[in-house]
Amino acid sequence: MKIQSRKLQLGRILNLLALSYCALLAAGVSAQDDPRHLNTVLDIDALYTPLQSQPIHGETAVLLLRELQTKHYSEVQIDDNFSTVVFDSFLDALDGSHLYFLKADIDQLSAYRYTLDESLKSGSVDTGFEIYNLYYKRILERLIYAIDLIENHIPEMDFTLAEAIELEREDAPFATSMAELDELWRLRIKSSVLSLKLTGDDDTEIAEKLAKRYRNQLSQVLKTNDKDIFQAYLSTVAQAVDPHTAYFSPIDSENFNMGLSLSLQGIGAQLTTEDEYTKVAELIKGGPAERGKELQAGDRIISIGQGVDGDLLDVVGMRLDDVVAQIRGEKGTVVRLNVIPADSVSESEAHIVSITRDTVKLEDQSAKKEVIELSYNGSDYKIGVINLPTFYFDFEAASRGEEDFKSSTRDVKVLLEELRSENVDAVVVDLRNNGGGSLSEANQLVGLFIETGPTVQIRYSGMRNGFTRSFGDNDPEVAYDGPLAVLVNRTSASASEIFAGAIQDYQRGLVLGGQTFGKGTVQEIIPMDYGQVKLTRSKFYRISGASTQHRGVIPDIGFPDVYDAYEDIGESSLDGALPWDTVRPVEYRAYHSIQALLPELQELHTQRVQESPDFVFLLGQIERTRELRENETLSLNEAVVKAEREVSRRADFEADNTRRLAKGLPAREWVEDELDEDEAATVVQNDDIQNSDADAAEDEELEEVDPLLLESGRVLADFISLNARRLAAVQETPARR
């Protein structure tokens, strides 16, 4: 499954359509209450009614093209190339897995490949409606076929056959006949049946669950209206320019302005859609979901229950805003999510996550500190760690004149003062999973570590007539001048990249971890007569002149990270992402000779991690995940699936025990699969406690220490030693002369 793609980017829009379907149960209405619910009638001719565009749609399309051409950062040409991008993107967003359209459909629609630009210029979106109407008909046909198969043919399914489904069909050819499509869907439904079968459901329970799911989907597909199609089509048009440009209709503008993080304040998560699933895109730092440690980014939600014992309602295929309505609730109440883990491929490995709803407050995302003590090379070190989940600034409180308004820079400054009073030997600024925030805060935060100087450059729209402006720190006060490292990963983005890039360019500190996201563009919301457009207006550049766009910031010393298994995370994985380029550098001075010390620092780091149980385990975990994601098919043979799952469990178990033994921790005992894995882990942990309270205490203490933070501390210890040796050599040189 791909984490980032144009299809995923459009998912938030297309979940309004048949791709994501909406279940009536989300609104507390049973499927039977809908007069159009079909308990017996499954006839395509009776169901299918083409949808038509409205005059306001064409008028808005003309205005959107004008905004794109006059205000976007890039020079936008509405021509045949633009038409081709829109055509391919719209088809991919509707049917990226090639499960609905026939090859003959694509051949027929290809007549519009080079004409969409002209129709849009003339104020017509009829072609977009025609493409969707054909898709609308095909998806109704598929749902009718699926319901019939589920309700009448599950007992006939043979799970001893050597059958399989393709996991990635984006490059697969379109089916050439209805019979071929039927076969694809037969295998698809069989896979869903097997997943539920492996959870212990019998044929009757499986038929009931899947029939309910697909009949709900069919009921909601029939509610698709012209506004849904218009929103999807114009969003595709906008994103043909770059993946961060988007159009929002009046209704979706209201939802966008509210913000997903606010909409989901009940659990503190951001969701998106991928195929028929609602997927966790990101956990908000400090929120209930992130604090609970059970829900992870990439998990797919298949059902939701209210309270500690409420019935689980299936949400596969439900539209995103209705899933949000199910998750949202009063503070202090419990919501239960049945999720497929990010690294799993079927519902058979789903598990329940219970989360108590709470309000995600600004202070939950505030900077926090800790001190790590480590012994290394015969010396003891105290490493201060500042975790910054986002670059925040309370604009409303500041505008009201409140003196204690929240600011990431002000909070970090206080924490640095506290760490200095604790006599730390070095500081790590942890920006892992920090998606950005206030540009001014990133600029001021750099200022806490340098005297004065530029921190970032911004090039504004208009490649020919645009201009570049530098921003910097004018305050000579330095909050901390000691050894420094910045820890980043693939989801560190935007303002995080500005800060890390500036620290690296100044050689003020070491940048450690993984390559950052690579989002070096700035967007602006522009109101329109009918909705609004989010446009890319400018780009970030480092003081060295290099853009953070596309490539991100490359760390001085790379650490392995779970995101290494996902090649489709980051700006470079997005279709149409603006390219990396450079502008003129500005004048600045280096604080240390970090680049000269890097070869020795890298060698020492490499020697350490080769013998580190945690790093060896992490590398193995990454490789196992990568291998799993490289699987192109999923077996439908029950015995094969069980055997593969057991092999995977055994590999994870043995790798973890190898790590534990290498760290001097007691090995866990193997528990057969009959017992739920979470329960098994609890049982074994309890056995450990009963056998040895001392071992359990040691286990807890060691397990809580983040190995990447520990290694960051050791790298800084090496830097302190090597830099002192270098300075001593420099001071001795004149005397020798």
Which residues are known to be catalytic? 494, 505, 519
Q: What angle do the packed helices 126-153 and 203-221 form, to 10 degrees?
A: 160
CA–CA distance, 614 with 659 (Å, rounded to integer): 6
What CA dihedral angle connects 700, 705, 711 and 714, to 10 degrees? -90
Task: Classify residue 35 as left (phi > 0), alpha (psi -120 to 50) or beta.
Answer: alpha
For 123, half-sphere exposure in the C-beta direction (CA atoms, 13 angstrom radius) is 6
Q: How far apart are the first and last CA of the chain?
A: 65
The amino acid at 567? E
The percent helix, strand, coil of the chain (3-state, each to 5) is 45, 15, 35
Strand order of the β-sheet with 557-558 is 368-376, 379-387, 426-430, 484-488, 510-513, 557-558
Q: Contact at 8 Å (CB) between 322 and 22?
A: yes
Computed on alpha carbons and rounded to an integer, the radius of gyration of the chain in Å comes to 28
- Classified as helix, coil or strand, 21 is coil
CA–CA distance, 303 with 311 (Å, rounded to integer): 9
**Token couple for 519:** 């989002």
Q: Give 318-371 as a DSSP string.
A: --HHHHHHHH---TT-EEEEEEE-TT--SGGG-EEEEEE-----GGGGS-EEEE
